[in-house]
Amino acid sequence: MTEPSRETTRTPSKRQAAILRRLSKLGFASTTSLANHFQVSEMSIRRDAAAIEKLGLARRVHGGLVSLRAVTDGSRDFFGRNIVNSMEKEVIARAAAQAVGDQDVIVIDAGTTAYQFARALPETFRGTVISHSLPVFNLMLNRSNVTTISLGGELYRRSQAFIGSSALTAARELKAGTFFMGAAALDARGIYASLDIEKEIKRALIGICQNIVLLADSTKFNANAPVALVPWDDRFTVLTDRLPSTELLAEFADRGVRVDEADSLPAREGVGMIS
């Protein structure tokens, strides 16, 4: 009989999110205890630990994994979501980062794929980053050659993003080249968010940019999300890990939206909207 304290085997991304939650409570977890808890091999846990460390969320030590910091309830949602579809997000992020010129002025959204994009920016980048994301701002603290503009405002802990009238006012006074944006869902009609509280700041950032690159893994196509953000226009490119159906691609093309598959982009060529 399975012990009540154990969790049944999960997909790697879901298991990694659960490991991260466990670390936030315990601070340290041994490889053996995690393998027993999730009823998988120690080799599987080592692979999970490597993936979590690569995302900068914990550190592997002899015998297990240690949390880098005590994660608050508010930030846990963000960093937990950062694990989901993490490989797809990294592929998309690396391809998008290849599109950035060394002196570009860019806007980075507050989602988890956008956070991975910020991590992937090349060391040669010496431009300007505008963002309402606290995790992105923290990343840029270590990039002394990058000019960082934080929008400020009220911190919404669930998404670790600054929102409210102060953030909106700051955003509307700026101008940028490309907005690297995330979304909860997209279809032929437009882009959607999970929370109404995200709507106004995302719309403001879309409004100040010449181009928008939507960073969206393939699970977002025709997914369900309650808040309609904006319809498509010809400033948009969608960058994804796997192309959607030919029918949906045709509908995007009718609206002037280009869809690029991250793995198919030659190095340094970048996505279509920026080139």
Mean pLDDT, 10 residues at a time, over the chain (275 residues)?
51 88 79 89 93 85 69 47 69 94 97 92 97 92 94 87 95 98 96 91 98 96 94 97 96 96 72 48
Q: Where are the alpha helices (DSSP H) in 107-198?
A: 112-120, 134-140, 165-172
Q: In what order do the strands lie in the sheet with 64-67?
A: 28-30, 64-67, 58-61
Please report whether residue 122 resides in a domain. yes
The count of structural domains within the chain is: 2
Q: What is the pLDDT of residue 9?
A: 54
Rounded-to-integer distance, Cα 13 and Cα 268, Å:
29
Pairing of strands 161-163, 154-156: antiparallel
CATH number for the domain that contains residue 215: 3.40.50.1360
181 and 73 co-located in one domain: no
The pLDDT of residue 113 is 92
For residues 125 and 102, the answer to whether their CB atoms sit within 8 Å is yes
pTM: 0.72
Residues 61 and 152 in one domain: no
**Residues in a beta bridge with 193:** 227
The verdict on 129 and 76 lying in the same domain is: no
Q: Which domain holds residue 184?
A: 87-264
State residue 83's pLDDT score. Answer: 54
The pLDDT of residue 3 is 39
Among candidate residues 59, 83, 107, the one where a domain is terminated: 83
Residue 70 CA, distance from chain mean position: 21
In degrees, to the nearest 5, what angle opens at C-alpha 135 toward C-alphas 95 and 266?
Answer: 5
Residues 179 and 101 in one domain: yes
